[in-house]
C-alpha cells in the first residue's frame, strides 16, 4: 500500500505540471489561466477526496482499476486540450469566450482530479486500517511528490516533450498492477497491466508524429513545435513567411518592420553606439538591424537557448549571418543575472516579452531599470518597447503604461516615449535628443537604407500631436510605481486581458483601494474581528474546527509558497527546472512535517497533545515574521534561501494537518476525506488570493504580514483541551 501512496504523489505532481502547461498553451500563455487551473485542480481533487468517503469500502483491486483509468485519462486529456478551440468552434487566433474557457478548464481537469482525490482517500483508508496513521499516509504521498518534482525537473532539463512526460505518467499508472504486492492480484488484472504497458510503448514509438499532428490542428503550415523550459515554441511557414509563436501567441515574423523601427530609433539616440547590450530579440532581426549602425561590439543575452537553436535554422540567410558576426557575442542566461557582471554600454535595449506574467514583469520594474542605469556610460541610453494602441488607451492600459513609465522616471531624469501601435521608451541620465533634424542627419550619415524608418518618418514621429500628448497622459495618471516587491503592472495586465471579455473591467482599478490607507485599515480591522468571531464560534464544533484549521494553515502555506516562488522568480529568473526544485522543497517540508509530527505526538500523553498544536501554530507565526524580515532586507536571493524557507513552510503546514487529526478522534478513516479536502481547498483559495489579490495589490511583504496576523488568529483554535 505505501507504493500506491508514493505513486499518487508522483503522478499528481508530474501530471499537474504537464496538464497545466498544456492549458497555458491552449489559452495563449495567459498566466491567469494557469493560476485558475491550479485552483481548479486543488478544488476538484478535494471534492474527489470527499466522494464515497464511508459508503464504499475499497479493496486493492479497485485502487488498481483507478490507476488504470488515470493512465488512460492523461493522453485523452491532452487530445481534448489541444483540440478545444475546434471543439468549441473558436475563431483561429482569437480567445474563446471567458465562460467557455472556464468550462473547458473544468472539463479538462475534473476527471483526473476526481480520480486522484478518490485514489488518495481509498488508499489512505486501507493504509490506516493496518495500524498506521493518517499523518504517515500524508507524508508518504508527499514523498512521492518529491520524486515527481525531481522527475519533472530532470525530464524538462533533458528536453523530454510534454506529451512524452504524460505518457510516462500513464505507464507508471499501468505498472501499478505489476508492482503491487499486498494481497493476491487476479491474473486478468496482471494481464491487462501488461497489455496496457505494451500499447503505451507502441504509441511512444510514434509519439513525435502524434505530437506534430496535434500541434498542426491549430497551426496550418507547421514547421516545428517544441516544449522548452520557458514555454512551447511553434514555427509556421506560409507563403515563405516564417512566423514564430510562444505558447501559441504570436511572437514575431520575419517580414515585418517592427525590429527595424525599434533598433533604428534606439540606436539613433546615441551619437556613437559602439558598445550595445541587447536583452532578447536577436532572432527577430534586431541584431541584423543594429549592425547597420557599425557598433564595435554587441552583447546579445538570450534566455531561451532551445528557442534560439530551433528558430535559427529557419531564419533568412542575412539574419543567420548577423547572429554569427565577429562583433556579436551571444550569452545564454537570464538578463538580470548577466547585468550583475556586465560592463558599460552606449546602448542597452531590452526586447523582453510583454509584462503579462510575473516572469516578464521583472523586466519592467524600478529595480531592473536601476540595474540597467548602472551599466550605461555617462551619455548612455536605455530603451524598451510596449505594445499599446495608437489612438485610444483604455483606463487599464493607460495605468499599466504609467506604472512602468513612472518607474522608469524614478531612475532616469530624461525619458522620451515614441507613440504608435508599439510605444518605444527611451531613457537616459543625460539629455535626450528629440530634434528630428539631428536624428535624421545621423541616419543619413550612417548610410542606412530602411523600409520604414526614413528621415520623413522620423520627422512625423517627433512632430505629430501624439508625441506631446503621450507624455502628458503618462504624467497625469496617479498609479503605484511598478517594482519587484509590488508588481502592480502584472495586475493591470490581467485586468486588460479580462476586459476583453467584460468591457466594464477596463474601467475598474483595484489598486486605488490600496492608496486609501484609512479605508484599508478599517477593512483590515473589520475582517480581523469577523474572523475572530468565526474562530470563537467553531471552537465548540470539534469536527468543523479540525477542517477549518487545516484549511487556514494550507491557505497560509500556499500564500507563503507563492510569495517565495514569485520572489525567487524576480531575483533569479524563471527557469522551469528551478521552479520544479522549489516545489520539491515544499513537498519535502510536507513529508518531514507530517512524519516528524506523527512520531512526536505518538510519544506524548494524550492530555498534552494540545500543547503541540500551540507550538506548531506559534512556529507558523514566527516563520511568517522571519520571512517578512528576510524579504525586507532582500536576504531571500537564491535557490538555497528560498528552498529552506519553502521546506519550513511545508513542515509547519503538515504539522498542523497531523495535529488536527490527532486532536479529536481515534477513528482516522472518518477524518481522511474532510481533512484532506480542507487542505486542498484551503491551498486553492490561498493560491488564488496570493497571485491575484495579495501580491499585486499589497506587495509580497504586506502579503506575508497579513498571513502573520491570520496565523495569530489560528491560536484561538488550538487552546482547546480534549
pLDDT digits (tens, 9 = 90+) for 567-619: 887 776 654 456 667 878 888 888 888 888 878 887 777 667 778 888 888 99
More confident residue, 61 or 338: 338
Q: What is the mean pLDDT of residues 193-197?
A: 90
- Whether 281 shows a pLDDT value over 50: the answer reads yes
Q: How far apart are CA 610 and CA 599, in angstroms?
A: 15
Residues listed for the chain: 722
Sort 503 into a burial class: Cβ within 10 Å, 0-12 / 13-18 / 19+: exposed
C-alpha cell at 166: 504524460
| Ramachandran angles phi, psi of 638, nearest 5° | -155, 180
- Whether 505 shows a pLDDT value over 80: the answer reads no
Task: Supply the pTM of this predicted model.
Answer: 0.80
Q: What is the mean pLDDT of residues 95-107?
A: 89
Tell me the pLDDT tens digit for each residue of 477-497.
888 899 887 778 877 777 777
CATH number for the domain whose boundaries are 251-498:
3.40.50.150
- Supply the pLDDT for residue 612: 84
Q: What is the mean pLDDT of residues 499-510?
A: 70
Per-residue pLDDT band at 16 (split at 50, 70, 90): confident
Q: Mean pLDDT lowest for which of 358-367, 371-380, 389-398, 628-637?
A: 389-398
Task: Say if residues 495 and 676 touch (Cβ distance below 8 Å).
Answer: no
Sequence spans of domains, the chain: 1-216, 251-498, 510-722
Q: What is the mean pLDDT of residues 472-476?
A: 89
More confident residue, 716 or 309: 309
Q: What is the mean pLDDT of residues 246-257?
A: 86
CATH number for the domain whose boundaries are 1-216:
1.20.1250
C-alpha cell at 366: 524600478
- Supply the pLDDT for residue 638: 79
More confident residue, 468 or 566: 468
Q: In 3-state terms, what secondary structure has residue 215?
A: helix
Q: How far apart are CA 664 and CA 660, in angstroms?
A: 7
- Supply the pLDDT for residue 149: 78
Write down the number of H helices and E strands in the chain. Answer: 29, 11
- Whether 718 shows a pLDDT value over 90: the answer reads no
Domains 1-216 and 510-722 share a fold: yes
Asked whether the CA dihedral 451, 456, 461, 465 is positive or negative, the reply is negative
Per-residue pLDDT band at 108 (split at 50, 70, 90): very high
Q: What is the mean pLDDT of residues 269-297?
A: 94
- Supply the pLDDT for residue 543: 64
Q: Which CATH architecture has domain 510-722?
A: Up-down Bundle (1.20)
- Whether 134 shows a pLDDT value over 80: the answer reads no
Q: How far apart are CA 381 and CA 266, in angstroms?
A: 8
- Supply the pLDDT for residue 319: 92
Q: Which of 44-53, 93-102, 488-497, 502-511 has the highest mean pLDDT?
A: 93-102
- Per the listing, cell 505526538 goes with 601
Task: Give, in order, the Cα–Cα distances in Å from 715 to each of 133, 559, 616, 624, 682.
Answer: 25, 19, 10, 14, 17
Task: Say if residues 718 and 548 touch (Cβ distance below 8 Å).
Answer: no
Task: Say if residues 362 and 368 touch (Cβ distance below 8 Å).
Answer: yes
Task: Give, in order, the Cα–Cα distances in Å from 569 to each of 23, 206, 337, 358.
Answer: 21, 36, 12, 8
CA atoms within 13 A on the CB side of 6: 9
Q: What is the mean pLDDT of the chain?
A: 84
- Supply the pLDDT for residue 184: 54
- Supply the pLDDT for residue 576: 47
Task: Give, in order, the Cα–Cα distances in Å from 282 to each of 315, 362, 557.
Answer: 11, 20, 40
Share of the chain above pLDDT 70, in %: 88
Residue 174's H or E segment, with its range, is helix 162-174
- Supply the pLDDT for residue 722: 41
Q: What is the mean pLDDT of residues 626-646?
A: 88
Per-residue pLDDT band at 636 (split at 50, 70, 90): confident
Amino acid at each position: 500500500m505505501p507504493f500506491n501512496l508514493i505513486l499518487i504523489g508522483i503522478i499528481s505532481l508530474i501530471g499537474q505540471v504537464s496538464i497545466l502547461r498544456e492549458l497555458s498553451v491552449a489559452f495563449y500563455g495567459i498566466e491567469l489561466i494557469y493560476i485558475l487551473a491550479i485552483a481548479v485542480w486543488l478544488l476538484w481533487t478535494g471534492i474527489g477526496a470527499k466522494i464515497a468517503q464511508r459508503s464504499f469500502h475499497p479493496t486493492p483491486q479497485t485502487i488498481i482499476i483507478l490507476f488504470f483509468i488515470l493512465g488512460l485519462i492523461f493522453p485523452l486529456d491532452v487530445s481534448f486540450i489541444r483540440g478545444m478551440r475546434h471543439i468549441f468552434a473558436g475563431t483561429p487566433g482569437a480567445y474563446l469566450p471567458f465562460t467557455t474557457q472556464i468550462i473547458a478548464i473544468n472539463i479538462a481537469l475534473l476527471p483526473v482530479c476526481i480520480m486522484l482525490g478518490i485514489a488518495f482517500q481509498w488508499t489512505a483508508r486501507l493504509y490506516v486500517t493496518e495500524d498506521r496513521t493518517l499523518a504517515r499516509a500524508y507524508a508518504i504521498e508527499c514523498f512521492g511528490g518529491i520524486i515527481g518534482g525531481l522527475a519533472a525537473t530532470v525530464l524538462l532539463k533533458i528536453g523530454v516533450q510534454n506529451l512524452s512526460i504524460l505518457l510516462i505518467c500513464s505507464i507508471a499508472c499501468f505498472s501499478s498492477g505489476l508492482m503491487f504486492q499486498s494481497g493476491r492480484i487476479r491474473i486478468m488484472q496482471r494481464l491487462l497491466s501488461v497489455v496496457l504497458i505494451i500499447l503505451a510503448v507502441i504509441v511512444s514509438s510514434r509519439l513525435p508524429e502524434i505530437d506534430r499532428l496535434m500541434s498542426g490542428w491549430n497551426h496550418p503550415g507547421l514547421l516545428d513545435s517544441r516544449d522548452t523550459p520557458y514555454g512551447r515554441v511553434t514555427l509556421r511557414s506560409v507563403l515563405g513567411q516564417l512566423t514564430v509563436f510562444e505558447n501559441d501567441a504570436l511572437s514575431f515574423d520575419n517580414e515585418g518592420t517592427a525590429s527595424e523601427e525599434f533598433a533604428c530609433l534606439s540606436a539613433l539616440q546615441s551619437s556613437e553606439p559602439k558598445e550595445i547590450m541587447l536583452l532578447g530579440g536577436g532572432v527577430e532581426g534586431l541584431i541584423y538591424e543594429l549592425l547597420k549602425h557599425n557598433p564595435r561590439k554587441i552583447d546579445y543575452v538570450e534566455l531561451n537557448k532551445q528557442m534560439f537553436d530551433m528558430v535559427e535554422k529557419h531564419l533568412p540567410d542575412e539574419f543567420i549571418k548577423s547572429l554569427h558576426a565577429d562583433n556579436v557575442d551571444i550569452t545564454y542566461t537570464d538578463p538580470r543575472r548577466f547585468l550583475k557582471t556586465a560592463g558599460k554600454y552606449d546602448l542597452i535595449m531590452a526586447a523582453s516579452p510583454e509584462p503579462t506574467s510575473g516572469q516578464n514583469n521583472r523586466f519592467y520594474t524600478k529595480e531592473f531599470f536601476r540595474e540597467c542605469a548602472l551599466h550605461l556610460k555617462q551619455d548612455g541610453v536605455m530603451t524598451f518597447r510596449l505594445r499599446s494602441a495608437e489612438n485610444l488607451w483604455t483606463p487599464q492600459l493607460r495605468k499599466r503604461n504609467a506604472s512602468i513609465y513612472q518607474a522608469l522616471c524614478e531612475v532616469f531624469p530624461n525619458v522620451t516615449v515614441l507613440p504608435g501601435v508599439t510605444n518605444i521608451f527611451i531613457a537616459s541620465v543625460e539629455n535626450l535628443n528629440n530634434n528630428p533634424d539631428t536624428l535624421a542627419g545621423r541616419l543619413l550619415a550612417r548610410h542606412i537604407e530602411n523600409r520604414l524608418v526614413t528621415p520623413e518618418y522620423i520627422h512625423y514621429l517627433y512632430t505629430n500631436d501624439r508625441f506631446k500628448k503621450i507624455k502628458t497622459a503618462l504624467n497625469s495618471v496617479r498609479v503605484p510605481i511598478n517594482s519587484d516587491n509590488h508588481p502592480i503592472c502584472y495586475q493591470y495586465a490581467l485586468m486588460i486581458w479580462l476586459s476583453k471579455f467584460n468591457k466594464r473591467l477596463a474601467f475598474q482599478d483595484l489598486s486605488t483601494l490600496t492608496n486609501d490607507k484609512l479605508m484599508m485599515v478599517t477593512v483590515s480591522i473589520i475582517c480581523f474581528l469577523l474572523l475572530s468571531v468565526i474562530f470563537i464560534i467553531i471552537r465548540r464544533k470539534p469536527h468543523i474546527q479540525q477542517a477549518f484549521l487545516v484549511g487556514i494553515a494550507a491557505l497560509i502555506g500556499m500564500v507563503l509558497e507563492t510569495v517565495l516562488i514569485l520572489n525567487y522568480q524576480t531575483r533569479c529568473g524563471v527557469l522551469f527546472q528551478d521552479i520544479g526544485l522549489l516545489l520539491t522543497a515544499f513537498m519535502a517540508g510536507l513529508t518531514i512535517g507530517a512524519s516528524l509530527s506523527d512520531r512526536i505526538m505518538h510519544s506524548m500523553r494524550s492530555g498534552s497533545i494540545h500543547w503541540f498544536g500551540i507550538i506548531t501554530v506559534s512556529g507558523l507565526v514566527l516563520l511568517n515574521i522571519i520571512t517578512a524580515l528576510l524579504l525586507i532586507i532582500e536576504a531571500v536571493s537564491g535557490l538555497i534561501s528560498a528552498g529552506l524557507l519553502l521546506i519550513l513552510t511545508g513542515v509547519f503546514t503538515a504539522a498542523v494537518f497531523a495535529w488536527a487529526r490527532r486532536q479529536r478522534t481515534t477513528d482516522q478513516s472518518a477524518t481522511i476525506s474532510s481533512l484532506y479536502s480542507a487542505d486542498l481547498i484551503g491551498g486553492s483559495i490561498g493560491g488564488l488570493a496570493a497571485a491575484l489579490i495579495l501580491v499585486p495589490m499589497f506587495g509580497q511583504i504586506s502579503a506575508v504580514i497579513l498571513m502573520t496576523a491570520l496565523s495569530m488568529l489560528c491560536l484561538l483554535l488550538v487552546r482547546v483541551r480534549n
